[in-house]
Amino acid sequence: MNKSDLLAEQIREISGVNPKKCMKCGKCSATCPSFDKMDIKPHQFVSYVDNDDIEPLTKSKSLWHCLSCFACVERCPRGVKPGKLIDAARQIAERQRGGDYLTPDEIPELFDEDTPQQLIVSAFRRYRK
């Protein structure tokens, strides 16, 4: 398994999403409020993961423009959950930058200009329990 395959596998595992379920209807992109700001659109995100093509994703601006509103997750007719994929890709990107898990205690020190707010929002969602 090369590095990209491994990353794709990690994204699938973290998100619990099987991109093979996608029937390419585009409802995720139709419903996305941040669509215009994204370079890789939500529906493309799914096929990038399916094709194990991860590097463009971790470098894409979309990662930090996703609001994690999960409209795509709610409305996807196939249960593919593109929003969760983006969440997972964000986590991979953060790990590559050296960070790993986020605990509430760490939040204050993370609050600087460079940390995208979306990351904290989704981290809260993930670790709220």
Partner 1 sequence: MQRIGVFVCHCGSNIAATVDVKKVTETALMEPGVVHAEDYQYMCSEAGQAKIAAAIAEKNLTGIVVCSCSPRMHETTFRTCAERAGINPYMVEIANIREHCSWIHKDVEEATKKAVILMRAAVAKVNLNTPLKPGESRVTKRALVIGGGIAGIQTALDIADAGYEVDIVEKTPSIGGRMSQLDKTFPTLDCSACILTPKMVEAAAHDKINIYTYSEVEQVSGFVGDFTVDIRKKARSVDMNKCTGCGLCQEKCPSKKTPSEFNRGLNTRTAIYTPFAQAIPNVPVIDREACIKFKTGKCGLCSKVCAAGAIDYEQKDEIITRKYGAIVVATGFDVIKLDKYDEYAYSQSRDVITSLELERIMNAAGPTKGHLQRLSDGREPKNIVFVQCVGSRCADERGKSYCSKICCMYTAKHAMLIRDKYPDVNVTVFYIDVRTPGKNFDEFYRRAVEEYGVNYIKGQVGKVCPEPDGSLTVYASDLLDNKQLRMSADMVVLAAAIEPSASVRQIATMLTASIDTNNFLTEAHPKLRPVESPTAGVFLSGVCQGPKDIPETVAQAGAAAVKAIGLLAKDKLMTNPCTAKADELMCNGCSQCANVCPYGAISYETRLVMGPGVRENRRVAVVNNALCQGCGACTVTCPSGAMDLQGFSNRQIIAEVDAICR
Is residue 27 at the binding interface for partner 1, with CB under 8 A as the rule?
yes
Q: Which is nearer to partner 1, 6 or 25 (CB)?
A: 25
Give the C-alpha separation, 14 to 103, whole Å.
Answer: 17
Which C-beta is closer to partner 1: that of 50 or that of 99? 50
- Tell the residue number behind the tokens 């995100």, with chain if given: 45
Nearest distance from C-beta of residue 18 to partner 1, angstroms: 10
Single out the residue of 9, 35, 50, 53 in contact with partner 1 (rule: CB under 8 A): 35
CA distance 119 to 111: 11
| Interaction between residue 32 and partner 1 (CB under 8 A) | yes
Contact 88, 11 (CB under 8 A): yes
Cα–Cα dist 81/105, whole Å: 29
Residue 28 near partner 1 by CB under 8 A:
yes
Using CB under 8 A as the binding rule, the residues of this chain from 48 to 87 that contact partner 1 are: 71, 75, 77-79
Angle between helices 42-50 and 82-96 (to 10 degrees): 70
Footprint of partner 1 (CB under 8 A): 21, 23-32, 35-36, 41, 43-44, 71, 75, 77-79
